[in-house]
Amino acid sequence: MAPKPGVIPLGPLRLGDIFNGAFATLGRYGKQLFAVGAALYGGALVVVLAAAAVAYSAVSDHLDRLFELTEYEDPSSRDLVPVLVAFGVVALLGFLSVVIASAVVYAAVPAVLQEAVLGRPTTFSAIWRRAWARMPAVLGAILLTGLIAMAPSVLAMAALMAGIFGAVATDGDGAWVTLIVIGAVCFLALVPLTLWLWVKFSLAPSAAVFESQGPVAALRRSATLTRGDWWRVCGMTLLAGVLAAVASYLIQLPFNFLGMFTSSLGTAGLDENPNPAAILAVLGGYVVLAAIGQLVSQLIVAVFPPLVSGLLYVDRRIRTENLAPVLAQAAAVPPQFTA
């Protein structure tokens, strides 16, 4: 059986080619991508819910005493500290679970694109193995990008906050007012630098998967590929993010509405002084529906922008490294050199 054509023309890609390719990839390989994402984010959700249940059972007595306090009583540290520690651990565990799940999904997208560009079939198990194998490199590239891109803005924000706090402490004397102005100017000047660095390294996850690069090498590769075409990469990446955010919001709306409706029905049946278990039971419907909506919307946010970034990576290699003939030979179709 002849292989299917790839999701993009094997030549320099226009805006329409890239977004059509992203949608075509979702249409042809959506089962594999969404299955990987659902397994990962669903697993993260299960881990968080299980940890929350364990935390609640461990500190339920402390919670009961905290809910029994009147508005004139202060909580004791022996009740407050265990509750804060328990649910702080749950929050940390949830954060780590989502970060790892997101890194695997970010690795799965280029793994799918490697086959989609050539029109070759793939399976869930193949994508799963490839994504987990490249997850450490992708996670390292994402974290390094965040650290490098956010460092200028963090420093500028620190200077601005120092000036504000100093002005408050000294009744706004001239030196501190000057520092506030300098901090504000630095912050505004360094925000574009943050955006520039983020776009410069935005192709690093794709390089980490396509070329099996380590985190630092992937960042260098991204910087090389985006050189001379920063504005185009920036515009398409931002457009993909906006489309994904709008889709995510629209997906979450009905789930949140249903959750609030079920919660409002449940609160009508509560006693005047409900216990924590009753409150959690009433809120359970909202939490579950909101979590499902967040899970579904997260799949869109986690998959579509990386698809566009992956196709931009392919496009930059086609334009700068004459990759089209190599891809055409691998796909066994004639190259298409469109302007």
| Closest alpha carbon to 293 in 265, 258, 264 | 258
Whether 237 and 308 have beta carbons less than 8 Å apart is answered as: yes
pLDDT at 193: 86
Structure tokens given for 75: 């909580």
Q: Note if the pTM is more than 0.85.
A: no
Neighbours of 244 (CB within 10 A): 20
pLDDT at 42: 86
- Classify 279 as helix, strand or coil: helix
pLDDT tens profile 103-122: 999 999 999 998 888 888 88
Q: How confident is the model at residue 84 (pLDDT cuts 50, 70, 90)?
A: confident
All structural domains of the chain with their residue ranges:
15-321
The one-character DSSP state at 211 is S
Q: CA torsion angle for 211, 215, 220, 223 (degrees, to 10)?
A: 90
| Closest alpha carbon to 203 in 145, 134, 149 | 145
- The residue type at 304: F
Q: Is 151 exposed, middle or buried (0-12, 13-18, 19+ CB in 10 A)?
A: middle
